[in-house]
Structure formats: C-alpha cells, structure tokens
Structure 1
Amino acid sequence: MDTQSFVLLSHEQALRRRMDVAANNIANSSTVGFKSEQPVFHEYVERVREAPVEDARKTSFVLDFGAVHDTAQGAFQATGNPLDVMIDGPGYLTVQAGDGSTAYTRAGFIKILANGDLATSSGHKLLGDNDRPINIPEDQRGRIAITTDGTVMGAAGALGRIAVTAFADETSVSQGGDGMMTGQGGRRLLPKETQLKTGGVEGSNVQTIVETTRMIDILRSYQTSARISQDMDSMRSQAINSLGRVN
C-alpha cells in the first residue's frame, strides 16, 4: 500500500468516527441532560528523507484526538415533580457512582430512596456540600422543597444542599454511561453561584436537523474518498499494463 492509500485510509477512519458521533447524538436527542458531542482530530505530519521534490517530503495524516461536548443549555421540560431540578447555567449535579467514585450529571430527575437518600432516577445518590448523601427523615419525606441555590428544605429547616460542580476546562469532562459524566479539577459552586429551576429537567441540546445534515455531508465525503481510491487503483492497473507491454 502506498502513501496515498494510507492518507485516504486515515481520512476514512476519521469519517467513520464522525458518523459514529453524529449517530450517537441523534440517538440521545430525547435523553434528559445529554450534551451533543463533536469529534476532534489532529494532523499528523510525517517527513520522508527522500522525495522527488521538497513539497513531497511532508505527508499529512488524520488522527482521532477525541471528542468534546457542546455545553449549550437544553430547554426546560416541566415534569410537575417538585423534586426534579434543572441547572440554569454551568455546572453538574454531583453524585456517587456505583463504584463509590464521584460522577456528574445534568439529568435532574430526583427521587427519594427507601433509606431516605436523595438520588437520580437511575439510583445514583446525590451528594451534598459535605460530599455525603442528603438524607430525608421519614416523617418529612412528603414535605420537602428545593430552593434555587440547591438547599433542601424540610418541615424543620434545611436538610442539606445539593452540590453543583463546575469545570473551567470542559474538555476534561467526558461522557459516561447512564447519563453520567466524569471529570477532573472541578469546583463546587457557592450558594450565590448556584441557580436551580425546580419542577422540571433539562432536555437534550442535540439539534436533530443539524446532525442529520452532518451525516449527509459525511456520507458524501466518504463517497468522494471511495471514488479517489478507485481512480488510484485504475491508474495503478494502467501503469502495470503499460510496463508489461514495454517489457
């Protein structure tokens, strides 16, 4: 396989990655709190020692660098449940993952577990400012409210405050399973920095028309790449036939 074929292969692998990301975005267009992703690619330049001309010594390949998510806020979706929340601004609800580590989410469906701990709809416990779950006494479970700064109020007063974590570098946050995200270097927002809306959740920020258009563009690019590959094969065949006749 020659250099041109390797370049085309790297390009087609990048197109495949773009298609996978676009398809995943569309699949999550109705997932609460989901942030659409975009792949990021780097140019890898390889230099050869010998080439017919100077410009031919540099060959550019496409390398998959990862994906970043769009931080644009999704629309508010009313649920009628006073425990459900949407973060109005940056940040993530801080939760305890199944393995005991800390994870983050924008999906604000909140329920009370049998032991009284507040948790997401998937059962991940919400953490408070003290990095511990927020527990609701049994006699107050029907009379709690969540204020705009995340404070959980019971009949006898505050029971804790939902921790909201923001990241200065959103590229350090990556999508995980079950609506969870992982990240490093987050900062807990102060009450005056926290703004929650209750009675609803944040919808996905995926724009299906944009993603569908992107998929069509990817398909056309792949078709163009395939035609170039076919033309190169035809040129090789013609060159081999010509050399055969000369010999």
Structure 2
Amino acid sequence: MDISSYVLLSQEQALKRRLDIVANNMANVSTVGFKREQPVFHEYVEKADKALVDDAKDTSFVLDYRAIHDMAPGAFQPTGNPLDVMIEGPGYLGVELPDGAGTAYTRAGFVKVLESGDLATAGGQRLLDEAGQPINVPPEQAGRISIAGDGTVMGTDGPLGRLAVTVFDDETNLAPRGDGLYAGAQGRVLPAEETKLRSGGVEGSNVQPILETTSMIEILRSYQNSVRMSESLNDMRKRALDRLGRVS
C-alpha cells in the first residue's frame, strides 16, 4: 500500500468518526439536557527526507483529536412538576454516584423526593448542595417545597438547602457516563447571585435533526468521493504495471 492509500484511509476513518457522532446526536434528539457533540480533527504532517519532488516531502493525514459539546441551550419544556428545573446558562447539577463513588454532573433537571426525604434526579441519584451533601426534606414538608431561581430549596419553615450548580472552565474535560451524566474535575460551584434556575420544566436536547441529517448526507458524499479516488488510484496502478510488463 502506497502513501496515497494511507492518506485516504485516514480520511475515511475520520468520516466514520463523524458519522458515529452524528448518529449519537440523532439518537439523543429527545434526551433531556443532552448537548450535541462535534468532532475535532487536527492535521498531522509527516515529513520525508527524500521524495521525487520537494512538494511531495510533506504528507498530510487526518488526526482524530477529540469531541466537544455544543453548549447552546435547549428549549424549555414544561413538565407540570414545580420541582423540575432548567439551568439558564452554563453549569451542571451535582449528583451523588451510587455507593459514594464520587460526584457526577447533569443538566437533566427532573427532581423528585425519595422515600428517605432526599432530593434526587429521575434516575434516583441524590442531588447535592454547595457543600456536596444531599438535601433532605422533612416528611411533613414533602409536598410543599419549592425551588427558587438561585437554587434555594424552600420549605414551609424556611430554606432547606441550595442546589449546587457547578461550572467548568474547560468543558472538553467532561466525559459522558451514560444516563445523561458526566464525569468531570476542577469545577466550581456558582454563588447564589450567579445561579439561574427556571422551575416547572426541564431543558430539551439542543440537537437539530435537520442539521444532523444534512451532516449525514455530506459525510456520505465525502465517503463516496474517497472511494472513487481510491478506485482511480487502483486503476492507475494496474495500468502502470501493465505497461511495465509490456516493456519487460
């Protein structure tokens, strides 16, 4: 296999990566709080010491660098549950992982009260306050609490705690864990005056199906062009071998 085939192969690998990400975005078009992903590719240039012409010394490959999240907000979706919240702006709700395995983060703002009285997500992960502790609701107040715009959980006798909204300076360090959860480090909890929550609904996915469908078509066309170029190179090699055979 010559260098041109390797270059085409790197492009096709990049196209496969793009297709996988677009397919995942489409699969999560209805997932609450989901942020569409975008692949990031870098150019990798390999320099050869010798070549037939100077311009052929540098060979450019496609390098799969990482995937980043599009942090554009999703639309507000009313749920009828006054405890459900949408984060307006950057940030994630902190939740406790099972067996105290650490903290994960989510933008899916479905909130419920567990039998233990702790506030939790729809998946049962306990929501954490500014100190990284669960917020407990006394049994007699379970049906009479509300969440203020700064995240304060208000009971009939006053505040019960404040939901922690954590922001990250570098969103690319967040790693998906599944079920709308992300793992991350070096986040900071927003103070009350910078926290903006909207109650009574959740944030929808920011995936736009038309844009993702258009991307799929572009990827398909690029792959078809790559295949045609590969076939042309194979034909060229066959003709060259045939002519060399005749000369011999």
Same fold (TM over 0.5): yes
Partner of 1:232: 233
Aligned partners of 1:68 and 1:174 also within 8 Å: no
Q: Distance in 2 between matches of 1:209 and 1:97?
A: 35
Partner of 1:128: 129
Aligned partners of 1:40 and 1:66 also within 8 Å: yes
One-letter code aligned to 2:28 = N
Partner of 1:81: 81
- Indicate the SS of the match to 2:98: coil
The gaps in structure 2 that reach 5 residues or longer are: none
Aligned residues: 247
Shift of 1:187: 1.0
Name the Cα RMSD after superposition: 0.9
One-letter code aligned to 1:224 = N
The gaps in structure 1 that reach 5 residues or longer are: none
Partner of 1:173: 174
CA displacement, residues 199-240 of structure 1 (integer Å, 9 cap, x when unaligned): 000000001100000100000000000000000110111111
Aligned partners of 1:37 and 1:67 also within 8 Å: yes
The answer to whether residue 220 in structure 2 is matched with residue 219 in structure 1 is yes
Shift of 1:174: 2.8
Moved more, 16-25 or 169-178: 169-178
Shift of 1:176: 2.4
Partner of 2:195: 194
Shift of 1:96: 1.2
Aligned partners of 1:93 and 1:162 also within 8 Å: yes
Partner of 1:112: 113
Shift of 1:130: 1.2
One-letter code aligned to 1:179 = G
CA displacement, residues 125-155 of structure 1 (integer Å, 9 cap, x when unaligned): 1000110111111111111111110001111
How do 1:63-102 residues align onto structure 2 when only pairs under 5 Å count? 63-98=63-98, 100-102=101-103
Shift of 1:98: 2.7
Q: TM-score, normalised by structure 1?
A: 0.98
Moved more, 170-179 or 153-162: 170-179
Shift of 1:59: 0.5
